[in-house]
Structure 1
Amino acid sequence: MERVPILKLGDILIVSIQIDLQDQGVLALQEDLADAVVEHRARGVIIDITAVEIVDSFIGRMLSTIASISRVLDAETIVVGMRPAVAITLVELGLSLGGVRTALNLEKGVALLHSRDGVDSDTVTR
């Protein structure tokens, strides 16, 4: 089973989903991410789904569950890189990503987390 790498950028964890996740992979990601949030005292989690072409109810539930776990551990979750077709599919499936904020790309996601913490986003991107 392939594991999804979790990268650390300051107090933010970045997960870039580049593979098709099966049930066991999602469970491993949720556990790995929860452990990483605690270990690194992360304040934010960014999930990059740029490479995800198809979203079904499974992926939607996965994103909501990860956001819920992170929120309980005091970290905000932002999903970035959502393609228009993916957004349309989520709406058509009636999936609500409760507790999940979105941004167009990774840079905007990082700025969104920093603006929440009162950090000047210009300082971050320099």
Structure 2
Amino acid sequence: MQEDIDDHAALELADRLAGDVAEHGARVVLLDVSAAQVVDSFISRVIVDVARVCRLLGAQVAVVGMRPAVAITLVELGLTLEGVQTALTIDDAMDALEDGAGGAGWHA
């Protein structure tokens, strides 16, 4: 996810990602939000909705690189990433995937 993503681009990304997951039968989706310094309520909801859609399509989802300000925004908005793993870095996520779903690289 880009640093300066606007609402329209976020929706396009969500649609494209859902289509790609369905078309290719993706089993894992890493949603890298590390470029986002701060997100507004709309983008926060898009992140949560993308994760939910991918899970409904059968993919394990990990949100990677979430900055404290983004996490705070999600909490303040009452948005949860239920059933979605998180990792501090892509390397942590890849290590956790290699270790299996219970890998130490995941954060709850």
Q: TM-score, normalised by structure 1?
A: 0.69
Match of 2:101 among 98, 116, 122: 116
Match of 1:31 among 9, 12, 15: 15
Contact 1:78 1:100 in 2 (8 A): yes
Higher relative contact order (CA 8 A, sep 6+): 2
Helix, strand or coil at the partner of 1:32: helix
Question: Does residue 65 of structure 2 align to residue 47 of structure 1?
Answer: no
Larger strand share, 1 or 2 = 1
In the TM superposition, residue 98 of structure 1 has moved relative to its aligned partner by 2.8
- 1:22–1:85 distance in 2 versus 1, CA, 3 Å: closer
Cα deviation digits, residues 44-90 of structure 1 (max 9, x gap):
11111111011222122111111111111100111111112322333
Helix, strand or coil at the partner of 2:31: strand
Contact 2:65 2:88 in 1 (8 A): yes
Q: Distance in 1 between matches of 2:81 and 2:102?
A: 22
Q: Distance in 1 between matches of 2:22 and 2:8?
A: 22
Query: Given residue 65 of structure 2, which amino acid in structure 1 is its aligned partner?
Result: G
Question: Does residue 43 of structure 2 align to residue 59 of structure 1?
Answer: yes
Per the alignment, residue 90 of structure 1 pairs with 74
Moved over 4 A (4+): none
Runs of at least 5 residues in structure 2 that lack an aligned partner in the other structure: none
Per the alignment, residue 71 of structure 1 pairs with 55
Contact 2:21 2:57 in 1 (8 A): yes
Per the alignment, residue 107 of structure 1 pairs with 91
Q: Distance in 1 between matches of 2:47 and 2:13?
A: 11
Residues matched between the structures, number:
103
Contact 1:60 1:97 in 2 (8 A): no
Q: Distance in 1 between matches of 2:8 and 2:72?
A: 27
Runs of at least 5 residues in structure 1 that lack an aligned partner in the other structure: 1-16, 122-126
In the TM superposition, residue 117 of structure 1 has moved relative to its aligned partner by 9.2
